[in-house]
Amino acid sequence: MSSIMNRTMTTPNVVEIAPEIKPPTWRAKLSRNPEWFTVALIAAMCVIVGAINPRFFQFATLFDLLHSATTMSLFGLGTLVVLASGGIDVSFTAIGALTMYAITKAVFAWWPDAPFALILVAGAVGGIVLGVINGVLVHRLKAPSLIVTIGTQYLYRGILLTFIGTTFFMNIPHSMDHFGRIPLFFYHTTDGLRAVLPASVLALVLAAVVTWWLLNRTMMGRGVYAMGGSLAIAERLGYNLRAIHLFVFGYTGMLAGIAGILHVSNNRLANPFDLVGTELDVIAAVILGGARITGGTGTVAGTLLGVVLVTLINSVLILVGVPSTWQKVIIGAFILIAGTLFALQRKG
């Protein structure tokens, strides 16, 4: 008995102390969810604009924003895929312009009664072909994608203006005109105006879901992020870099071709000078949504939020009397703020 007591008394008490768990800092939170910065900017802008002009808070404004953001969102989803892979593409607007104008003009001349679904498929196929050319050149030349796509942007733009046409026309094929007039939902405002949510929003929703699935649920999506993180490591892991390049630029071209066809249908106007020049707005929207220009990051939700922010700046600020010349200033300031915050969180 005494021996047992002695062992009990001499045995030290062992107290396990759990490591202190520190709450995540704002830098860690921003690192995991950079989209929250964009959400905060959108909320702040809505509050300010709504306080100045209470008519901002109505469904008509939301419908207008969705109508304005459809084309840019499709461009943005394609740009997200390219940026996530570590590249950059500035030719997507030229692809959209060439595809929409060439197909619209050809259909109107040879098959005015062509169904809209067929026209949309033609736009997607045309965009894929032009996008794959980008992918082949980037992979074969081992050149920076920015340089390659600047060259193809001028090439596609030159083909359009030299060989296809330079005049806009409002007599678009009947099926395209009809689709642009289909309301997904509409109501009459207190002013007696008809606020319409266009059916093209469905194409945006479908493109967003497909893009999310490709990036997050497929081996190709994992390869895109891996290549954006490190080209050498992705190659050592066994990813087919040629296939990824072709997919990335082909998918971006497909979305650009679809965006071009929807742009003509919604505006009921085919103008060869449309779309080109909006590349920086689209890239800015994707970066504001949390994607890094160096690759390996980016989300569909963040991209769409970035498009909403840029669309608010470009469309809504005019309602409160902000001159259009200040739009680029505000977008540039937001990008600098976002870049500073993201740099700080990487150092933290």
Contact (Cβ atoms closer than 8 angstroms) between residue 63 and residue 196? yes
Q: What angle do CA 39, 41, 47 make, to 5 degrees?
A: 100
> According to the model, what pLDDT value does residue 167 have?
86
Q: How confident is the model at residue 12 (pLDDT cuts 50, 70, 90)?
A: very low
Calpha distance 124→164 (Å, rounded): 19
> According to the model, what pLDDT value does residue 127 have?
98
Q: Which tens digits make up the pLDDT trace of 53-103?
A: 787 888 888 888 888 899 999 999 999 999 999 999 999 999 999 999 999
> According to the model, what pLDDT value does residue 344 have?
64
> According to the model, what pLDDT value does residue 17 have?
47
> According to the model, what pLDDT value does residue 138 have?
96
* Amino acid found at 105: K
* Max avg pLDDT among 25-34, 204-213, 286-295, 334-343: 204-213
Percent of the chain's residues with pLDDT above 90: 53
Q: Answer yes or no: is pLDDT of 22 > 70.
A: no
- Greatest Cα pair distance, the chain, in angstroms, is 108
> According to the model, what pLDDT value does residue 216 have?
96
Q: Which of 232, 283, 245, 264 is nearest to 77 (CA)?
A: 283
pTM: 0.88
Q: Which of 168, 177, 203, 179 is nearest to 69 (CA)?
A: 203
> According to the model, what pLDDT value does residue 51 have?
85
Q: Answer yes or no: is pLDDT of 25 > 60.
A: no
> According to the model, what pLDDT value does residue 346 have?
58
Percent of the chain's residues with pLDDT above 70: 88
Residue 196: its H or E element? strand 194-198
Cα–Cα distances in Å, from 123 out to 128, 175, 250, 263? 9, 14, 13, 11
Q: Which tens digits make up the pLDDT trace of 220-232?
A: 999 999 999 998 8
> According to the model, what pLDDT value does residue 190 have?
72
Beta bridge partners of 197: 185
Identify the residue whose tokens are 């939170």. Answer: 29
147: Cβ–Cβ under 8 A, 6 or more apart, which residues? none
Q: Which tens digits make up the pLDDT trace of 124-182?
A: 999 999 999 999 999 999 999 999 999 999 999 999 999 988 888 888 999 999 998 88
Calpha distance 205→198 (Å, rounded): 12
Q: How confident is the model at residue 314 (pLDDT cuts 50, 70, 90)?
A: confident
* Max avg pLDDT among 48-52, 82-86, 270-274: 82-86
Q: Answer yes or no: is pLDDT of 342 > 90.
A: no
Calpha distance 72→93 (Å, rounded): 10
Q: How confident is the model at residue 9 (pLDDT cuts 50, 70, 90)?
A: very low
Mean pLDDT value across the chain: 86
> According to the model, what pLDDT value does residue 8 have?
44
Q: How confident is the model at residue 32 (pLDDT cuts 50, 70, 90)?
A: low
Q: Answer yes or no: is pLDDT of 109 > 80.
A: yes
